[in-house]
Chains A and B, each alone.
Chain A
């Protein structure tokens, strides 16, 4: 792995450089989530506590918690 970002260990021991919360592929803003998951507003909400800080990974097309990680981490633009 290379790059200036410091590397940290993912949950499964994989080398990553940050968790999903700090990754540019992680879409966690509730308004965007509700736009990307039509129908969620009908009987639930992306603003609810049960959602914690989850978001959509636009790279893996998965709904992941903020503390998740993977080898494709790319930091948010500063």
Chain B
């Protein structure tokens, strides 16, 4: 029998060291941290300039309302330097981040130029006075355009270098923190956590037991369950790693979650509009029943766009995105590490062994914590402190136009890049064959989730979410 020796981890080889420095460094090699550096960096610069009587509004340029094409030409003629500067700003920031992740800067920039120009066109379309009449909400349009391009043309790999949905959406969420006062997070956070916890637990167990009823493996059942209950594909892969799921389990979860998430991007705003839900209530429902941050933000931002343009939709445009973010980020995303930790304990102590030995440890909670949420909270805290004691009149007169509004414009740009990238990376031929049983199990969970989320958002907590805006 061989003597067994306890010793620290094996010393890293040269290839390991290289891998660790370039792609595994917890700070340099993870897009969550780069989203924080970029998002929080912009917030700090904005706050610094505001404190000295200046503003970032020159570079935070955005198309204005227009009715006739000559007005678009006039806007571009008057502001082309600002649009060019904004491209340079985003290109450099995201390009540096992408380089640190291992994506070549020389590949990223041309690809990002295409994303930026498409986003500019979509932004202008969204500002057309007849856009809402023709249902041309920029998030949905971006998604649809991306889907058509991705599935009609075979883009070379280097042309796809800037199609980074999560990088953009995490940066946008950090920027969004600047527009959400900490007092609002403290007020609404507990309700969001309660509502999300109810729906997450019910959805997980419905999918898990449905999958088991259909005879599926425990690990696949758990991976599907967290995909529906917590944070979509990210939830599935986090738990897949924690429990040591099969590769095909991950592929199945990706396919079925993406399929339903994209259906929900169109379905939830459509049903909410048909029912005349206020923007806050609809945002809460979307936050409870969408499966991924980027998909949910597309739906919430599209619905927010109905405020003031579609008859019968009460609330402000921001209320939909704010309610969604509170529900999804605070209520669901934040807890993925705990889900992974608990399920890793269950996997190692109760489930059939796999031949690969994993161990459960509380460190799992921090290792899988979605770090970008920290940037969101710090951005909120920073702007809350800066605006502390400012009267409502002063806020509307100086803080809103000089600090908050420009950051909201930058956030909208980041989200538009993300919505385009969702479509551009959704290639039907890439998705694995799901099989009927995983699809049925997940779909049962979707139905329960949507109904329960609707009841909680529109009945139980309706008054609360309506007051958001």
Binding site for B on A (CB under 8 A): 1-2, 5-12, 14-22, 28-31, 36-54, 56-57, 60-65, 67-70, 75-78
Q: Which of A11, A21, A63 has the most CB of B within 10 A?
A: A63
Binding site for A on B (CB under 8 A): 2-7, 9-10, 12-16, 19, 23-24, 29-33, 101-103, 163-167, 231-235, 237-238, 240-242, 244-251, 254-255, 257-258, 261, 291-292, 294-295, 336, 340, 348, 353-359, 364, 367-372, 422, 425-427, 430-432
- Using A10-B357, A22-B10 as known contacts, list a sample of 9 further A-B pairs with CB atoms less than 8 Å apart, ordered by residue number in A: A6-B7, A12-B348, A39-B431, A41-B165, A45-B167, A49-B367, A50-B368, A52-B241, A64-B356
User: What is the CA–CA distance of A28 and B258 in the complex, to the nearest angstrom?
Assistant: 23
User: In the bound complex, do residue B166 and residue A45 qualify as a contact, i.e. CB atoms below 8 Å apart?
Assistant: yes
User: In the bound complex, do residue A48 and residue B13 qualify as a contact, i.e. CB atoms below 8 Å apart?
Assistant: no
Q: Which residues of B contact A70 (CB under 8 A)?
A: 355-357
- Quick one: which of A40, A50, A68, A76 contacts B16, CB cutoff 8 A? A76
User: In the bound complex, do residue A61 and residue B246 qualify as a contact, i.e. CB atoms below 8 Å apart?
Assistant: yes
User: In the bound complex, do residue B166 and residue A39 qualify as a contact, i.e. CB atoms below 8 Å apart?
Assistant: no
Given A11-B357, A70-B355, A63 contacting B250 (CB threshold 8 A): yes
Secondary structure dominating the interface of A:
loop
User: What is the CA–CA distance of A5 and B257 in the complex, to the nearest angstrom?
Assistant: 42
User: In the bound complex, do residue A14 and residue B241 qualify as a contact, i.e. CB atoms below 8 Å apart?
Assistant: no
Given A14-B357, A67-B359, A49 contacting B241 (CB threshold 8 A): no
Secondary structure dominating the interface of B:
helix
Q: Which residues of B contact A18 (CB under 8 A)?
A: 9-10
Given A43-B294, A49-B32, A76-B16, A62 contacting B356 (CB threshold 8 A): yes
> In the complex, which residue of chain B has the Cβ closest to the Cβ of A33?
B237
User: In the bound complex, do residue A37 and residue B251 qualify as a contact, i.e. CB atoms below 8 Å apart?
Assistant: yes
Q: Which residues of A contact B6 (CB under 8 A)?
A: 8-9
Given A40-B254, A43-B257, A76-B13, A63 contacting B357 (CB threshold 8 A): no
User: In the bound complex, do residue A65 and residue B237 qualify as a contact, i.e. CB atoms below 8 Å apart?
Assistant: no
Q: Which residues of A contact B12 (CB under 8 A)?
A: 22
**Shortest beta-carbon distance from A23 to chain B in Å:** 9
User: What is the CA–CA distance of A62 and B249 in the complex, to the nearest angstrom?
Assistant: 9
User: In the bound complex, do residue B32 and residue A48 qualify as a contact, i.e. CB atoms below 8 Å apart?
Assistant: yes
User: In the bound complex, do residue A49 and residue B370 qualify as a contact, i.e. CB atoms below 8 Å apart?
Assistant: yes
> In the complex, which residue of chain B has the Cβ closest to the Cβ of A47?
B31
User: In the bound complex, do residue A48 and residue B10 qualify as a contact, i.e. CB atoms below 8 Å apart?
Assistant: no
Q: Which residues of B contact A14 (CB under 8 A)?
A: 357
User: What is the CA–CA distance of A49 and B364 in the complex, to the nearest angstrom?
Assistant: 11
> In the complex, which residue of chain B has the Cβ closest to the Cβ of A53?
B24
- Quick one: which of B13, B357, B368, B425 contacts A12, CB cutoff 8 A? B357
> In the complex, which residue of chain B has the Cβ closest to the Cβ of A78?
B13
- Quick one: which of B14, B231, B244, B248 contacts A65, CB cutoff 8 A? B244
User: In the bound complex, do residue A68 and residue B356 qualify as a contact, i.e. CB atoms below 8 Å apart?
Assistant: yes
> In the complex, which residue of chain B has the Cβ closest to the Cβ of A8?
B7
User: What is the CA–CA distance of A62 and B220 in the complex, to the nearest angstrom?
Assistant: 12
Q: Which residues of B contact A19 (CB under 8 A)?
A: 9-10
Q: Which residues of B contact A6 (CB under 8 A)?
A: 5, 7
**Shortest beta-carbon distance from B347 to chain A in Å:** 11
